[in-house]
Amino acid sequence: MKAFWSSAWEIIEIVLISIVTVFLIRNFLAQPFLVSGASMEPTFDNRDYLIIDEITYRFREPERGEVIVFRYPQDPKVYFIKRIVGLPGDRVVIKNGKVVVYSGGQEIKISGDTNGSVDRTMGEGQYFVLGDNRYNSFDSRNWGPVPRENIIGLTRLKIFPINEFELIKTPATL
């Protein structure tokens, strides 16, 4: 009988340690994210399964070009995935199908054609985000900048479909 209780206790310990470990990882380090829609094509397709790094932005601020997951500013229960184009203090101008960011006296031309018309300067803690599929994306052109506190994390891994498994890198140029 003593052997039974000893074995049962070991199983309970393993289960408890596993639950605590998963809880800590899921809530403080990384979490899964399922892409829904075509707004990030060709970078990410509908139903791609990603891992989001939740710890990096505790040590540094988000950077231009990074793909982030965030809470939609008009409904925090909804999560979006987009690319950061404008940082706090930047002026983002979308005109004649082109995106230009003015940052620290420099003009940064963002590649790819787009629709819409915007001329907006980001305030403190505000980020301008766009989908990579600019003609099929509901983003900062429609509802304005994303507040820093809405940002959940940085995309790090694409794990599904398996044949497209990859480490996500921020492009050198946009």
Tell me which residues are annotated as active site. 39, 82
Helix (H, G, I), strand (E, B) or coil at 157: strand
Burial of 49 (0-12, 13-18, 19+ CB in 10 A): middle
How many CA atoms, within 13 angstroms, populate the side-chain half-sphere of residue 127?
A: 26
Residue that the structure tokens 């809405």 belong to: 150
Contact in structure between 104 and 111 (CB atoms under 8 Å):
no
Strand partners, 146: 127
